[in-house]
Amino acid sequence: MRRYFDTRSKPWLIWVGFALIGIALAVLPFALTQVGTTWVRITNYAILYILLALGLNIVVGFAGLLDLGYIAFYAVGAYVYALLASPQFGLHLPFWVILPIGAAVAALFGAMLGAPTLKLRGDYLAIVTLGFGEIIRIFLNNLSRPVNITNGPQGIAGIDPFTLPGFRFDSPIKYYYLLLAVVLIVIVINLRLQNSRIGRAWEAIREDEIAARAMGINTRNLKLLAFAMGASFGGIAGGMFSAIQAFISPESFILVESIMVVSMVVLGGMGNIWGVILGAVLLSFVPEILRWTVEPLQHALFGRMLVDPEVIRMLLFGLALVLVMLFRPAGLLPSAVRKRELTGSLEERAT
Amino acid sequence: MDTFLQQLVNGLTAGSVYAVVALGYTMVYGIIQLINFAHGEVVMIGAMVAFTVINLLVPTGLPPLAIVLIGAGCAVPVCMLVGYGMERLAYRPLRHSPRLAPLITAIGVSIILQHVSLMIWSRNVLAFPQIIPSRSYFIGGAAITTVQIAILAICLTLMAGLAILVYRTPLGTAMRATAQNPQVAGLMGIDINRVIAVTFIIGAGLGAVAGVLFGTYYGLAQYTMGSVLGLKAFSAAVLGGIGNIPGAMLGGVLLGLVEALGAGYIGDFTDMCQWGLPLQACEGGGHFILFGSNYQDVFAFIVLILVLVFRPQGLLGERVGDRA
């Protein structure tokens, strides 16, 4: 079997593989429409989660900074888009103007959060970022008085979809192709980033900050950069979320969402781009599959709903975090370096 | 002045509850340098168990005080069991892993506990039955209720008890030794695993009592109450100097005061009319309040960030080295 798929002797096999995956991804929405249009929408959200997870992977996986308030940047991007393209202020700017603004504002927030906190050690940073996420949510909830900016808990409705001259993104399938294009670009950026000078510097910081500094790496600036870059990806994903949903409220940006993205990165394998994508796909589809299996199953067995699939989903997230850390600390698809780092004990590393 | 005194009383009450929760964080951190993310959930479970027991006992016509005591008496062992369980299953196997690993399991444990509670107690806000007759006493214009007095008294007793345990008993000596250097403490014949487990159990027991107090004070309990309360208590522990037991007590009370006074005054302070801005809303004695008391929950985080930036070792913390 292996002889036939040996890519070293047959390099063209890789391209065949890429082509097959490409074709599969291109026809996927039509196949899904056969099952139900909802599934295209679910796939779109899954791709959004892939974007988020890849953004967070820069912060957690590459630079080793645990960020528990990542969803705040998603919220910032979403609100920037919503405010600039909805009846809220009567502004209707085109998306290709807003998305860069959203990414920039999110990056600014990332730098704002990072600047005072990046000298903190890992676990403190986690808690501070968590607090930051909550602060953003509280502000979004309350910035309706005295001047109505965010419309408070009611949220903003009637957000414009993406439009190009003569073309309107008005169906989930159109968004699917757009999201697919964006996610491919982000994957390429991530792959290039990982092996760049910056990516290697991040890895050095993650492994041993003091040693990295001794090697002449400007640790503070590079950590800030990781924060800002991760945040800008979150901002772009947020803008797209805003347009797809056409409605946003602070409810979409709660702590659980941050933890969900962290779970995806951890489950898949921190620092490994393909692992993170796998984690995001698994954790965004499992709840939907649960919804389609657990509910009818419970109705059939007990005649009523005993356990909400939402609860099962969260329990699975929690269990995934604990079990992965206990038994496979480097994730399902570990990155080589990360694996070495997370499986070696402190004593081993000391010697 | 009346507002000030009243907020002082409220702040002290809330702050002493924060202090008791903060002790749970600080003890665990002091001994194994782990932020026990799930401690807030232990507090929540304490409140929930007490809620169930109190509700069961109300129809029996027992005296209210006895009912609350039995409620707390049931909550404490349950929480201790939860605390021991999570140490044994989720943290102990990772004791020698890099720091990120136990922190991530702690988040996982916290989600699991939250959603198991959701399954047991539903997602509704549960109203604690108000069975203790509340009488108010007036001190210089501020009202203090019997419940507030009881909370202050209980928290002070718990803190004093813990201080005696840690600084005057062999177990306390073992705990402090383990905190300083687990390897050497082990060589001196201390069973480190036992000491760490006991630390978790004591912290969880304190958390359970805090949960019951919190529930009876605000009259509410919900499965999500643990995360915000936990964050505030953690902020309090950091404010006082994490790992430092008197620090957690001081930090909790200070944080309660900052929050209460902040919520009481931020509205007046950010009233743009008071600063003489020529705004339309100000005409005829109107107000233009930028930030109202609905921002109360933000204070804890701002305190946390400020402390970590300017004095990462906290108010009473002394060891700096690996902290910041």
pLDDT tens digit string along A167-186? 888 888 888 999 999 999 99
Percent of the residues in chain A that have a pLDDT greater than 70, as a whole number = 91
Q: Does position A348 have pLDDT exceeding 60, yes or no?
A: no
Q: For the segment A63-100, what is each residue's pLDDT rounded down to a tens digit?
A: 888 888 999 999 999 999 999 988 888 888 888 899 99
Judged by a CB distance cut-off of 8 A, whether residue B101 touches chain A is yes
Q: How buried is residue A246: exposed, middle or buried, by Cβ count under 10 Å (0-12/13-18/19+)? A: middle
Per-domain boundaries in chain B: 2-225
Per-residue model confidence (pLDDT) at position B284: 66
Amino acid at B293: S
The answer to whether B243 and B180 are in contact (CB under 8 A) is: no
3-state secondary structure of A304: coil
Picking from A128, A138, A325, the nearest residue to B101 by CB comes out as A325
Mutate to test the interface with A, among B301, B311, B320 (most CBs of A within 10 A): B301
Burial of A5: CB neighbours in 10 Å, binned 0-12, 13-18, 19+:
exposed
Which stretches of chain B drop beneath a pLDDT of 70? 1, 276-278, 280-281, 283-287, 318-324
Chain B residues with CB inside 8 Å of A314's CB?
A: 111, 114-115
pLDDT at B153: 93
Q: Which of residues 116-155 of B touch A (CB under 8 A)?
A: 116, 118-119
d(CA B170, CA B198): 13
Q: What is the pLDDT of residues A107-142, one digit of tens each?
A: 999 998 888 877 777 678 888 888 888 889 989 988
Question: How many Cβ atoms sit within 10 Å of the Cβ of residue A26?
Answer: 12
Question: Tell me, what's the pLDDT at B273?
Answer: 74
Strands (E), chain B: 126-127, 136-139, 142-145, 220-221
Please tell me whether residue A143 adopts helix, strand or coil conformation: coil
- Would residue B285 be called left, alpha or beta, if left means φ above 0 and alpha means ψ between -120 and 50 degrees? left
A346 CB neighbours in chain B (<8 A) are 96-98
Report the range out of A43-57, A207-221, B96-110, B138-152 with the highest average pLDDT: A43-57
Partner-chain residue, chosen from A138, A315, A321, that has the shortest CB–CB distance to B104: A321
The partner residue sitting opposite B295, judged by closest CB among A123, A142, A347, is A142
Q: How confident is the model at residue A339 (pLDDT cuts 50, 70, 90)?
A: low
- Euclidean distance between CA atoms B110 and B102, whole angstroms: 12
Give the distance from residue B306's alpha carbon to the nearest chain A alpha carbon, in angstroms.
9
Residue in B with minimal Cα distance to A139: B295
For the stretch A8-39, pLDDT in tens is 667 777 888 888 888 888 888 888 878 777 88
Q: Which residues of B touch A68 (CB under 8 A)?
A: 107
Contact check, Cβ <8 Å, A134/B322: no
Report the share of chain A in percent with pLDDT over 90: 33
Half-sphere exposure of A150 (CA within 13 A, CB side): 19
Name chain A contacts of B35, Cβ cutoff 8 Å: 123, 126-127
Q: Which residues of B touch A318 (CB under 8 A)?
A: 107-112, 115
CA-only gyration radius of chain B, Å? 21
Instruction: Give the pLDDT score at A347.
Output: 44
CB contact under 8 A, A315 and B116: yes
Instruction: Tell which residue, B220, B227, B217, has the closest CA to residue B260.
Output: B217
HEC-encoded secondary structure of B267-322: HHHCECCCCCCCCHHHCCCCCCECCCHHHHHHHHHHHHHHHHHHCCCCCCCCCCCC
Are B103 and A122 a contacting pair at CB < 8 A? yes
- What ipTM score was computed for the predicted complex, to two decimals? 0.83
For chain B, positions 162-221, list CB contacts with chain A under 8 A.
none
pLDDT band at A350 (very low <50, low <70, confident <90, very high): very low
Q: B283-296 pLDDT, tens per residue? A: 666 667 777 777 87
At A186 the pLDDT is 93
Q: Which residue of B has its CA nearest to A310?
A: B115
Contact B108 A314 (CB under 8 A): no
At residue A46 the predicted structure's pLDDT band, cuts being 50, 70 and 90, is very high
Task: Please report which confidence band the pLDDT of residue A340 belongs to, taking 50, 70 and 90 as the band edges.
Answer: low
Reported confidence tier of residue A101, pLDDT bands at 50, 70, 90: very high
> What is the four-CA torsion angle of B222, B228, B230, B232, rounded to 10 degrees?
-140
Q: Which of B98, B235, B294 is nearest residue A341 as measured by Cβ atoms?
A: B98
Q: Do the Cβ atoms of A259 and B103 come within 8 Å?
A: no
Q: Given B105, B291, B298, which is nearest A325 (Cβ)?
A: B105
Cβ-in-10-Å burial (0-12, 13-18, 19+) of A326 comes to middle
Higher pLDDT, A120 or A277: A277
Local confidence band at A2 (pLDDT 50, 70, 90 cut-offs)? low
User: Considering CB atoms only, which of A128, A311, A318 is closest to B304?
Assistant: A128
Nearest to B42 by CA among B184, B206, B179, B157: B206
Residue A119 to residue B324, Cβ atoms within 8 A: yes
* Dist CA A293 CA A258 (whole Å): 26
CB contact under 8 Å between B312 and A124, yes or no, is yes
pLDDT of residue A345: 47
The answer for residues whose C-beta is within 8 angstroms of residue A224's C-beta and 6 or more apart is: A111, A114, A115, A118
Torsion of CA A189, A111, B111, A273, to 10 degrees: 10
What pLDDT sits at residue B110?
92
A315, A322, A329 ranked by CB distance to B97: nearest: A329
CA distance A332 to chain B (A): 15
Here the tokens at position A49 are 């989660």
Residue A247 pairs with which residues in a beta bridge?
A: A157
Average per-residue pLDDT for chain A:
85
Architecture per CATH, domain A37-350, reads as: Orthogonal Bundle (1.10)
Q: Chains A, B: CB contacts under 8 A, how many?
A: 140
Please tell me the number of Cα atoms within 13 Å of A13 on its side-chain side. 10
Q: Compare all CA atoms of chain B with the CA of A255 and give the residue at the minimum distance.
A: B227
Alpha-carbon distances, residue A105 vs A42, A77, A85, A221, B309 (angstroms): 28, 7, 16, 18, 23
Q: pTM for this structure?
A: 0.84
- CA closest to B323 among chain A residues: A121
**Per the CB < 8 Å rule, is A262 touching B107?**
yes
Give me the residue from B99, B114, B288 closest to A146, CB to CB.
Answer: B288
The answer to whether the Cβ–Cβ distance between B108 and A326 falls below 8 Å is no
Quote the tokens at residue B194: 């036992």
Which residue in chain A has the smallest CA separation from B90? A322
Number of helices (H) and strands (E) in chain B: give both, helices first. Answer: 11, 4
Question: Which residue, B103, B127, B106, is CA-closest to B51?
Answer: B127
Compare all CA atoms of chain B with the CA of A145 and give the residue at the minimum distance: B290
CB contact under 8 A, A326 and B118: no
- Could you tell me if B22 and B157 are in contact, meaning their C-beta atoms sit under 8 angstroms apart? no
C-alpha B238, offset from chain centre: 12
B19 in Cβ contact with B252 (< 8 Å): yes
- List Cα–Cα distances, B93 to A227, B102, B105, in angstroms: 31, 9, 11
Q: Quote the DSSP letter at residue A45.
A: H
Of A117, A266, A311, the CB nearest to B104: A266
Give me the residue label for tokens 């920037």: A80
Judged on CB neighbours under 10 Å (0-12, 13-18, 19+), A158 is exposed
